[in-house]
Amino acid sequence: MSTASSREPPEAPAAASVLGIDAGGTGTRFVLRLADGQVLAEGRAPALSGTQLFDAAGEAAADVVLGGIARALPVLPQAVVAGITGYDQALARKMVPRLMQIFGTNEACTQAMSDIELLCHAAFAGDGIVVYAGTGSVAALVDAMGHLHRAGGRGALVDDAGSGHWIAREALRQVWRAEDEEPGAWQRSLLAHALFEHVGGNEWAHTRQWVYGASRGELGALATVVAASAGKDAEALALLEQAGRELARLAQVLLRRYGRLPVAMAGRVFELHPAIERAFAAALPAGCEVEHLQEESHVAAARMALRLLARAVGAAGSTGTPGAQGAQGGPGGPGGPDVPGTPPEQPAVGSALASLA
């Protein structure tokens, strides 16, 4: 697999700080770094999704998450790139101004994209297919023209086969179907014992209360219980193998559409149990190059932010600092209208960067 180059554009100012964000349904990771690779801050934040921007309450929650990240930074960045689950370009008019205002960057130094598009950039310098399996599942590639092509990613209510949510749902379905056929069958199932211990009891009321009270991410995390049972329970093992085949189907769809390409695996489902990866690889065409994602997504986002900044600096010449518009009171920066969750009295970008020189 050809991983993207880690070399940074020489035009990026040495003291420039850039922010990379990878926002998902179970949590958000971020890293603030300098052009020379020095990490200034790295951490985790609550979940963030583009779908939160569909209503006012969700927008406020998104602002709080982004504002919390800004509060955790020692300085504001000059450029930011964010990969966000549930995001598409229709949401750009809501998400990009938020990033600009909260982090103090200007439009030329601010970019948002879907989390799967970010994964593609993290995995390949050229064409290649990424199969992501976390709470949800999707396969995608970014072609030479920069267009994103995908298969799957329809959400848990429609599909998401092979994902953590799907594994958990299928495990519970199997256990309760067996119980329908023969009441008390759960007592002979190691998988059922493990699941019932996790949800708090062996009665349907326990499962119902836990499932309908759990978030999508919490339900997906139940897949770890299935994986832990696979060494001693044949049904659990078979379910994980089926998950691997379902994920391979996503890659096969894109291979048929776009020809022979390398495939990268990404997401925590591939780390649950070796059976998933084995079944995944076995279901792909013979000779297909398959490897794990080499670069973490939030790190890739920061690398992309450096390139974004370098292009902006090149376009602006020596007329000013492209990322400092917001800090100077321009549209979208800390000097603009308040956004809930935006950190108060953040240092101006210019002065903050000067303190690093």
HEC assignment per residue over 97-108: HHHHHHHCCCHH
Q: Domain residue spans in the chain?
A: 17-125+296-354, 129-292
Per-residue pLDDT of the chain (357 residues; tens, 9 = 90+): 444 444 444 455 668 899 999 998 778 999 999 988 899 999 999 999 998 999 999 999 999 999 999 999 999 999 999 999 888 888 999 999 999 999 999 999 999 999 889 999 888 877 899 999 988 899 999 988 888 999 998 888 899 999 999 999 999 999 999 999 999 999 999 999 999 999 999 999 999 999 999 987 788 889 999 999 999 999 999 999 999 999 999 999 999 999 999 999 998 899 999 999 999 999 999 999 999 987 889 999 999 999 999 988 877 664 554 444 433 333 333 333 344 444 433 333 333 322 222
User: What span, in angstroms and rounded, lies between the C-alpha atoms of 311 and 7?
Assistant: 15
Give start and end residues of each alpha helix (H) in 154-294: 164-181, 190-199, 204-213, 216-221, 223-229, 234-258, 269-272, 274-282
Same fold, 17-125+296-354 and 129-292: yes
Output the pLDDT for position 293. 86
Output the pLDDT for position 154. 87
Q: Strands of the chain (E only): list them.
A: 17-23, 28-34, 39-45, 79-84, 110-114, 129-133, 137-142, 148-152, 263-266, 290-292
Output the pLDDT for position 220. 86
Which one of 3.30.200.20, 3.30.300.30, 3.30.420.40, 3.40.50.1000 gives the CATH number of domain 129-292?
Answer: 3.30.420.40
Output the pLDDT for position 146. 84
pTM for this predicted structure: 0.75
DSSP strand pairing (79-84 vs 110-114): parallel
Output the pLDDT for position 127. 85
**Superfamily of 17-125+296-354 according to CATH:** ATPase, nucleotide binding domain (3.30.420.40)
CA–CA distance from 119 to each of 5, 8, 10, 239, 347 (Å)? Answer: 14, 19, 24, 26, 32
Output the pLDDT for position 11. 54
User: What span, in angstroms and rounded, lies between the C-alpha atoms of 211 and 321?
Assistant: 51
Output the pLDDT for position 14. 63
Output the pLDDT for position 9. 43
